Structure 1
Amino acid sequence: MSIVVCGAAGQVGFEVTRRAPGAIALGRQELDISDAAAVDRVMDALRPRVVINAAAYTAVDKAESDADSARRINADGPRYLARACARHGAALLHLSTDYVFNGDGGIPWMPDSAAAPLGVYGLTKLEGEQGIREELAQHMILRVAWVFGPHGVNFVRTMVRAAGQRPELRVVSDQIGGPTYAGDIADTLLLLAGDIAVGRARQWGTYHYCGAPTVSWHAFAKTIIERAVRHGLLTKEIPVIPISTAEYPTPARRPHNSVLDCSVTLSVLGIAQPDWRVGLEETLKIWKSEQS
C-alpha cells in the first residue's frame, strides 16, 4: 500500500516509519506542510493512497508568542494536505490533541464535545481539524494526549533526566489525563491505513485515542521514577512532591481535565485503549538497551 508519513522525525512519525519501512517518510526537510506549493508538488509526484499527518508545532508555551508559526503548521498545513488528498482521491489520517478542550468539568471528553481551546496551540490544532473537514470527506482525525515514547523530547524523558540530577521533583497533581505511548498510536494509524488501502469500510470522522488508566502528572511521574530505578536507569528513587497548577505557572494555560472518552473508538473502530504502563515499560527497556 502507498502510505506517506508527514512529520516522520517526530515521536509518532518515527514510530510509524519504524513499523512500516515501506512507507514514504517525510520530515520537514523533505516536506514543509505549511508550504502549499510544496505539498502540491510532493503529492502530485507520490500520489499516495493514504497520508498520515504527524507533523505539528507542539511547543505549547512558545506558541503563545509565535502564533504565526503555530498556525502555519497546525492549521494551514493540514488544510493543504487535505486539499491535495481530495485532488488525488487519497485518505488523510491526522493527529490532533486534547488541547482543543478547555479542561473544565470532571467527565471525559467525547469526540463531539464542544471545543474551547485555552491557548494558541489548542486553537491552531482545532483550526487544522476544521480545515480538514472542509476540504476532504475521506479523513480520520485521531485526538491523542500526553504522548511519550523512546524517541524525541517528552515528559518521561524529562522526568528520568531530572531525577538523575535533583534531590526531589515537584510535579503538578491537579491535571489529569491518559498518557499515550507513541508506539500504540503508530500501530493504530497503520491498522487504519491498512484497512483503507484494501478498501475495508471505515467510518470517517473524529475519534479519541489515549492510554488508560487515568492519572495525574504527579502520579505518572512517580511511576516513571519507580520503573526507571527498576530498569537500572536511575540509582535510587527520589521524592516526587505534588504541587498545584498555580504553583507552576506557564505562558500557556493547561487543561485540568485532559481525559478523552475513547468509547466511540472502541464501538465503531474496534480499537481499545492501551495500557500506558506497558508502553512505559517498552520505552524504558529501549533506553536501557541503548546504554548497553
Structure 2
Amino acid sequence: CSEAMIQELKLEIAKLRRDKYGISSERRARLIDQLELQLEELEASATEDELIAEEAAAKASTVRAFTRRHPVRKPFPDHLPRERVVVETPTACTCCGSDRIVKMGEDITETLEVIPRQWKVIQTVREKFTCRSCEKISQSPAPFHAIPRGWAGPSLIAMLVFEKYGQHQPLNRQAERFAREGVELSLSTLADLVGHAAVALQPIHALIESHVLAARRLHGDDTTVPLLARGGTKKARLWTYVRDDRPWNGGAPPAAVFHFSRDRAATNPNQHLSGWQGILQADAYGGYNDLYRDDREAGAVTSALCWAHARRKFFELADIAGNVRKG
C-alpha cells in the first residue's frame, strides 16, 4: 500500500513539474513542496517498515520480508575529494595458508561523508618596533576587513546572509543553532552584521542594476513573498527584471536585479524603471501601464506581453469546452 502511494505521489509531482499552463506558478510551487514533504515521510516510513520486516524474518522463518524498489542512486559528484582508505591486506591465503599470493584487483566501496563545520578565532598579530635612533614606532598596517573594524570574518558573514535570504533561516534560529555549537551570538548582534553586509554589497548591487538597465530588452515580473509583521504575516512583493539576450545571439552576460516592496502599487515599477526605455516583456498587470504612455518623460516603453499568460486562458477555455461536451 505504501509503495503504491509513493509511486502515485511521484507521478503527481512529475505531472505538476511538467504543467506550465495550469495553476499559477506560486500555487504550484507550494503544492509541490507539500507533496514532496509527504513523499519524504512515506519513503522514510517505508524504509523503516522494511527494516523491521527484515529483522523479524531473520528471527522467525514464518515471517516473510517484503521488498521495495529503491531509487537508483546517482554517482557521487566528481568534484568531491576522494579519501582512499585501504583495508589491511591478508598476508597469506585464507584457504590453504600459503604466502604465495598476488594482487589481482580490488573492490571499492564509496561512502559519502561530511565534515562538520568548525569555529575558530583568527588572531592577526601586528608586531610593533621602535627605532633607537628617532624613537618612532613602526608597525604594519591593519589587514582588510569586509566590515570596517569588524570582528566577523567574510565566510561567517556570507554564511549568515545566505542562510537568511537563500535558505529562509531567520536569525533567531541561526542564533539557537550557533549556541548549540558552543558559540553565543545574540540576535541583535547578528542583525547588526546583516545590516553591515547590506551596506557593503550596495556597490555590487548598483553595478548589476546598471548592467541590467543598459539592455534594450527586459523581462519583468513580480511574485508574492510573506512579510512578518505585527499581528500576522502580510503579502509583500519581490520585483525581478532580467536581462538575457542569448536568444538573440547577444554577447552580454545575463543578469537579474531584484527589488522588494511592501505592496504592488504602480509606483514600484515606475520607480524601478525610471529613465529606462526599451522593450519590456511582462504580464498584463496594470501597474506597468504608466510605462507605456506616449507622454512619458523618458519615452514610452514598448510592451511585449507574455505568451505563456495568454495561452493559459486558451487552455482554460479548452478545458471548459471539454467538460461541456462530456456533460
TM-score, length-normalised on structure 1? Answer: 0.23
Which one has a bigger Cα radius of gyration? 2
Q: Which has the higher contact order (CA 8 A, sep 6+)?
A: 1
